[in-house]
Amino acid sequence: MSIDQTSQPVKPLRIAVLVSGSGSNLQVLIDAMQAGALPIEIVGVISNRDDAYAVTRAKDAGIEVAVLSHVESGKRMGIKTFEKHATAQLEAWQPDLVVLAGFMRVLSADFIDNAPAPMINLHPSLLPAYKGLDTHTRVLCSGEREHGCSIHVVTAELDAGQVLSQAVLPIRHTDTPDSLQKRVQVLEHQLLPWTILQIAIGGVSLTPSEQASSILPALPLRLLIDA
C-alpha cells in the first residue's frame, strides 16, 4: 500500500485506460500497479482495435478488456456506436480517472462532457505546439531545438485542454522521426506514471478552480529527462 506525505494510506485510484496500439504505456502502468509502485487499480481497458497488442497485455495481466472495434455485420464501428458502448462500460467500471494512452480516435464533446470521470491524454509534443498527428516529423521540419510529450486534460477541442505535465528532451542533429519517436517514448514511460502518481496524491489537480486556489506549482509541471 502506498503512503502519502502525511503518512496516510492512499486509496488506489481506479483507472480505465483507452488504447489503440502497442500498449507500451499501458504496460508501464500494469507493471507499476503490480509492483505496488503506484496507488492505482486498472479497472478495465477499452480498445477500438481488436488487433491492438495492448489487448494482449491487458488480458495477460488479468484486466477486464472491452474491444469495441466492429459491429455485428462486420463493419468498423462508427464513433457514435463506440461512444455508446464505451459509456456503458465506463459506467459499469466506475473509474476515478480515464487515461487515453495511445488512443487514436477523436471523441465527441458529448462523450467527453458526460464521461463518468475526468479524462487525461498523453500527447507526443510539447503542447500547445504540435497538436494532432505526425508530431516528430513536423518538429524536425521546423528546426525545433526541444521536443517531448505532454499530459493534458481532455476537452472537446483536440489536444487543447489544460496541460498538466511535460517531459522535455533536446533534439540532436542526428535525430530522425524514428529516433525521436523512440526517445520521446522513453519520456512517456516516465511522465505517465509520475503524473498519475501526482493526481493520486493530490500533487496536481484536474479542475480549474482547484488549480487556481492551489499552493502547488503552476502547471504544467515539467520533467527534464535524459533520453
Stretch that binds ligand GRF, among 15-23, 84-92, 168-176, 216-224 (CB under 6 A): 15-23
- Catalytic residue chosen out of the listed positions 70, 85, 123, 147: 123
Q: Please report how close the Cβ of residue 19 comes to ligand GRF at its closest, in angstroms.
A: 6
Is 119 near ligand GRF (CB under 6 A)? no
Whole-angstrom Cα distance, residue 96 to residue 118? 7
Residue of the chain from 2, 14, 24, 160 that contacts ligand GRF (CB under 6 A): 24
Is residue 21 a contact point for ligand GRF (CB under 6 A)? yes
> Residue 141: CB partners within 8 Å, gap ≥ 6?
none
- Count, residues near ligand GRF per rule CB under 6 A: 13
Residue from 83, 96, 175, 188 in contact with ligand GRF (CB under 6 A): 188
Number of C-beta neighbours around residue 209 at 10 A: 8
How far is 61 from 23, CA to CA, in rounded Å? 12
Is 125 known as a binding-site position?
no
> Helix %, strand %, coil % for the chain, to 5?
35, 20, 45
Residue 178 C-alpha cell reads as 524514428
Show the cell assigned to 123. Answer: 500527447
User: Is residue 23 within the footprint of ligand GRF (CB under 6 A)?
Assistant: yes
Among 87, 137, 155, 185, binds ligand GRF (CB under 6 A): 185
Please, which residues have CB within 8 angstroms of residue 216's CB and are 6 or more apart in sequence?
203, 204, 205
Closest CA to 149 of 131, 123, 130, 120: 123
Dist CA 181 CA 51 (whole Å) = 21
208: cell is 480549474
Indicate the residue among 55 and 221 with the shorter CB distance to ligand GRF.
55
Determine if 179 is a binding residue for ligand GRF (CB under 6 A): no
- The residue number whose beta carbon is nearest to ligand GRF equals 102
CA distance between the termini of the chain: 30
Annotation marks residue 70 as catalytic: no
According to the annotation, is 121 in a ligand binding site?
A: yes
Q: Is 124 in the site for ligand GRF (CB under 6 A)?
A: yes
Report d(CA 196, CA 13) in Å as an integer: 9
Q: Which residues are annotated as a binding site?
A: 23-25, 76, 121
Residues annotated as part of the active site: 123
Q: Which residues are annotated as a binding site for (6R)-10-formyltetrahydrofolate?
A: 76, 121
Site for ligand GRF, rule CB under 6 A: 21-25, 54, 101-102, 122, 124, 149, 185, 188
